[in-house]
Chain A
Amino acid sequence: MKGRYEDENLTWIPILIVGIFLLPFVLKGLTYSYKYYLFVLNMAGIYIILTVGLDLLSGYTGLISLGHAAFLAIGSYTSAILVDQVGIPFVFSLFISPLIVGLFGFIIGFPALRITGMYLGLTTMGFGFIVKRLIIAFREWTQGAGGLEVSFPIIFGYTFKSDWDNYFLISAFAILAVVVSRRIGKSKIGRAFMAIRDSEQAAEASGVNLAKYKMLAFFISGIFAGLAGVLFAHTSHFISTDHFDILLSIYFIIMVLVGGASSIYGAVLGTLFIVLLDYLFVPEMKGWIQEFLNIEGGDIQSLLFGLIMFLFIIFQPTGLYGMWLKMRIYWKLFPFNPKKKFI
């Protein structure tokens, strides 16, 4: 018997990858402020590496983490210390630091064996506070609250100095992260994760060791966050505890939710959406929104994100990715059966 479960048409993937690597040249041709756009895209790329891992944990396995900014922080500080103070080459840190963060994830996974839902969210949030305190406490290595300067990424003698250079480094790892997380999501590991989320009984009766797979979800998610942290530290040259605020953890969850939980492409879309909104749209529209609402100052960003989250949960629980699938089905069937709904 042959596998009949046809793969999606995959030709768009190489095209997209080429497009990603051509994008900086296009931007450069189009606008003088391309450097800022590259900076924003680099931010998005780093966050994508983190959110696809968070999606495996919170979207697939249903274990809510509000501590992912802390994982990002541990990755950043670990790599900064290993490379600049211990003297390990950046290339090695790219492997070691994520593993160390993975181990932290593993440790945080222990309480997840007993608690779930909002309580787990609060526990991981507490972890975030603790990490921030610890970073300040270990000031011999971390320079405390003052922040830490970090060296440039060097790979095989090449130093990545500008946002232009970093774009290629970050894109490569972001693509890798998306491919790997999708493979995990579509394998028996991903099935086990989703089964844990939706029916622990079905999972166990099918032979899934709940404890093992919950820990694995935290471990894998930690590795992704750690990799994001390494890239964040070395491409932004400066890290401080302010970069890893609790609010960032909440934004990460929003990115996953807005994209559509338990879809890797969803996490990518959600992250791009929120980052572009945050860095491009909000600064542009801030004055206008303030005038419209007749307020001075005010945290427009939080207001907007809160609203978006609210609207998505109510009107589009399958997220941006669900929206895209719906659209695709609509056009496929057009003009027949245009009311047919996805799920």
Chain B
Amino acid sequence: MADLCINNIRMQFSGVVALDDVSLSVKESEIFSLIGSNGSGKSTLFNCINGFNRPQKGSILFGNDDLLKKKPHEIIRCGISRTFQNVQNIPFMTVLDNILLGAHHRIDPESTVKRWLSQKQRAAEEVMGLEILDFLGIVNYEQKYMAGQPYGIQKLTEIARALVGKPKLILMDEPAAGMNDQETYEIAKIISEIRDELGITVLVVEHDMSLVMSISDRVCVLDSGEVLALGKPEQVKTHPDVIRAFLGDSADA
């Protein structure tokens, strides 16, 4: 069983406590959403999972792997890949090469050498990326340079890069941020398909409530680094603390 178990994490940046005693677990093949206001520690939690931040306390387990003992580049080998809140693409590489970056750990050195000698091996590598492009419905972009592509394509390329590594769990940091309604709908569909067709567990941070509520199996609300509520979407929506914290706030503002 490849569940993600986060136990009593505390992450402090000299002064700022970004995560305070956070515990939650994401079950295999579930779509789990993380919501919360700006600065509530959502991205920090992602960074703890994939080794960019080292929590002072607690443990993070994925299956049998103790993630806190892993270096950031080893996390994908444990079966976890991610996207970033502010897109992190390589502008002077083609869309396909950007995606294939995510297949780094799937391409062994031996086939790299073979690829230098034969065209066939190269095609095999490209097919990994093309399959994902097909899945996301953005074929014909593969040969274009990343620089200058529309924002939607950049976001999708990131998702593709995370998928091509064949993870068991994908972390998505605000995949629909900056998208219009149509694109947000597309993203929601893609997230569902990632779980339903590829069988990948999804942990997603998102601000778009309708998206979160429509696709999530469970939702966790973070507030100033603490878990405010956790449960099924309809439970969370009606949770008194959540209503006080969010609807109360927005009513004031």
Q: Please tell me if A32 contacts chain B, counting CB pairs below 8 Å.
A: no
Given contacts A1-B127, A187-B116, 9 further A-B contacts (CB under 8 A): A4-B142, A5-B142, A188-B112, A191-B90, A195-B90, A198-B89, A203-B101, A206-B161, A207-B77
| 19 residue pairs from A and B, CB less than 8 Å apart | A1-B127, A1-B131, A5-B130, A187-B115, A187-B116, A188-B104, A192-B104, A198-B92, A199-B89, A201-B84, A202-B89, A202-B161, A205-B72, A205-B75, A206-B76, A206-B102, A207-B73, A208-B101, A262-B92
The answer to whether B104 and A205 have CB atoms under 8 Å apart is: no
Tell me if A84 is interfacial: C-beta within 8 Å of chain B.
no
How far, in whole Å, are A2 and B127 apart by their CA atoms in the complex?
6
Nearest-CB distance from A91 to chain B (Å)? Answer: 23
Q: How far is A5 from B131 in the complex, measured between Cα atoms in Å?
A: 12
Tell me which residues across on chain B come within 8 A of A201, comparing CB atoms: 52, 84, 88
Asked if A3 contacts B123 (CB within 8 A), the reply is yes
In the complex, chain A residues whose CB is within 8 Å of the CB of B162: 205
Q: Report the Cα distance A328→B119, complex, angstroms.
A: 25
**At the interface, yes or no: B143 with Cβ under 8 Å from chain A?**
yes
Q: Which A residues are in CB contact (< 8 Å) with B90? A: 191, 194-195, 197-199, 202
Residues of A within 8 A of B119 (CB): 7
Q: Is A204 an interface residue when CB atoms closer than 8 A count as contact?
A: yes
- In the complex, chain A residues whose CB is within 8 Å of the CB of B125: 188
Answer whether residue A210 sits at the interface, using C-beta atoms and an 8 A cutoff: yes
Asked if A1 and B130 sit within 8 Å, CB to CB, the answer is: yes
Closest partner residue, chain B, to A3 (CB atom): B123
* A66 vs chain B, min Cβ distance (A): 23
- A159 on the interface (CB 8 Å rule)? no
Number of CB contacts from chain A to chain B under 8 A = 107
Q: How large is the interface on A (under 10, 10 to 19, 20 to 34, 35 or more residues)?
A: 20 to 34
B residues at A contact (CB < 8 Å) = 50-52, 71-77, 81-82, 84, 88-93, 96-97, 100-105, 107, 112, 115-116, 119, 122-127, 130-131, 134, 142-143, 145, 147-148, 161-162, 165
CB distance from A342 to the nearest CB of B (A): 8
Instruction: Name the A residues within 8 Å of B73 (CB-CB).
Output: 203-204, 206-210
- A243 close to B (CB within 8 Å): no
Question: In the complex, are the beta carbons of A3 and B122 less than 8 A apart?
Answer: yes
Contact A188 B107 (CB under 8 A): yes
Find out whether the CB atom of B92 lies under 8 angstroms from the CB atom of A188: no
Chain B residue with Cβ nearest A4: B130
- Docked CA distance A198–B87 (Å): 12
Q: Tell me if A198 and B91 are in contact (CB < 8 A).
A: yes
The reply to whether the CB of A169 lies closer than 8 angstroms to some CB of chain B is no
Contacts of A205 in B (CB 8 A): 50, 72, 75-76, 81-82, 84, 88, 162
A208 is contacted by which of B84, B104, B145, B148 (Cβ under 8 Å)?
A: B104
Shortest beta-carbon contacts, A-B, top 8: A3-B123, A207-B105, A202-B88, A204-B72, A199-B88, A3-B126, A207-B76, A183-B116
Cβ–Cβ contact B148 & A343, under 8 A: yes
**A276 part of interface (Cβ distance < 8 Å):** no
Which residues of A sit under 8 angstroms from B88, Cβ to Cβ? 199, 201-202, 205
Contacting pair A206 B130 (CB below 8 A): no
- Tell me the bound Cα distance from A206 to B145 in angstroms: 19
A192-B84 Cα distance, complex, nearest whole Å: 18
Contacts of B161 in A (CB 8 A): 202, 206
A2 to B126, CA, bound (A): 9
Instruction: Say yes or no: is A277 at the interface (Cβ < 8 Å to chain B).
Output: no
A2 to B134, CA, bound (A): 12
Q: Which residue of A lies closest to B123 (CB)?
A: A3
Q: Does chain B have a CB within 8 A of A175?
A: no
Q: Mark A199-226, 1 if CB is under 8 A from B, else 0.
A: 1011111111110000000000000000
Could you say which residues of chain B place their CB within 8 Å of the CB of A202? 84, 88-90, 101, 161
- For residue A40, CB closer than 8 A to chain B, the reply is no
Cα A205 to Cα B87 with chains together (Å): 13
The distance from the CB of A2 to the nearest CB of chain B, in whole angstroms, is 7
> Which of chain B's residues have a CB closer than 8 A to the CB of A7?
119
Say yes or no: A343 contacts B123, CB within 8 Å: no
What residues of chain B lie closer than 8 Å to A195, measured between beta carbons? 90, 101
